[in-house]
């Protein structure tokens, strides 16, 4: 009887250990949560957190907008395509700003004075900040660059150069 128990333990114990090891090893392939995602700058990654100070002197941390969809635009005041993109963003802002959607423009090149003048002359109603560092962190090499981050902080869209209205509406409608 004791030999039979010892045999059962000797066979069952390795099976349980191997099963637990396999579960631990392979569960990451079948289970994905926001907390387990790596931070990054591309679609599917948890958005890299950046700290900004807007033109009104308010401290902004991108991660503080969890629970909201974020439309993050990297631009420059001298960029002609960015000015064309601005009209699309204004239309989207008027349509989505009350639906837990936040718009942030980060200028990667202008002085604070130039940026303030640009914001005021173009009647930009959302957060505007200047940060060359944020552009470097997000690997922005072409302007404008639009990044849309979902309510869980995951990047769901990224495109450089002009992005048309219908493309952005499609993305926002899926996330709101």
Where in the sequence numbering do the catalytic residues fall? 79, 82
Instruction: Count CB atoms within 10 A of the CB of residue 92.
Output: 17
Q: What is the DSSP letter of 80?
A: H
72/86 Cα distance (integer angstroms): 12
Using CA atoms, how far apart are residues 136 and 108, in angstroms rounded to an integer? 9
Q: How many Å apart are CA 65 and CA 155, to the nearest integer?
A: 13
Q: Which of 165, 173, 167 has the alpha carbon at shortest distance from 91?
A: 165
């Amino acid at each position: 009887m004791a030999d039979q128990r010892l045999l059962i333990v000797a066979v069952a114990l390795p099976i349980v250990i191997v099963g637990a090891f396999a579960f631990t090893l392979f569960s990451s392939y079948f289970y994905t949560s926001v907390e387990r995602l790596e931070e990054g700058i591309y679609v599917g990654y948890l958005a890299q957190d950046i700290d900004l100070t807007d033109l009104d002197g308010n401290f902004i941390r991108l991660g503080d907008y969890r629970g909201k969809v974020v439309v993050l635009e990297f631009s420059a005041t001298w960029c002609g395509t960015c000015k064309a993109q601005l009209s699309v963003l204004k239309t989207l802002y008027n349509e989505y700003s009350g639906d837990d959607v936040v718009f942030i423009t980060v200028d990667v090149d202008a002085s604070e004075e130039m940026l303030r003048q640009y914001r005021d002359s173009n009647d930009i109603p959302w957060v505007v900040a200047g940060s060359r560092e944020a552009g470097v962190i997000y690997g922005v090499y072409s302007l404008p660059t639009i990044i849309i981050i979902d309510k869980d902080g995951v990047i769901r869209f990224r495109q450089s150069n002009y992005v048309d209205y219908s493309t952005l509406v499609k993305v926002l409608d899926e996330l709101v």
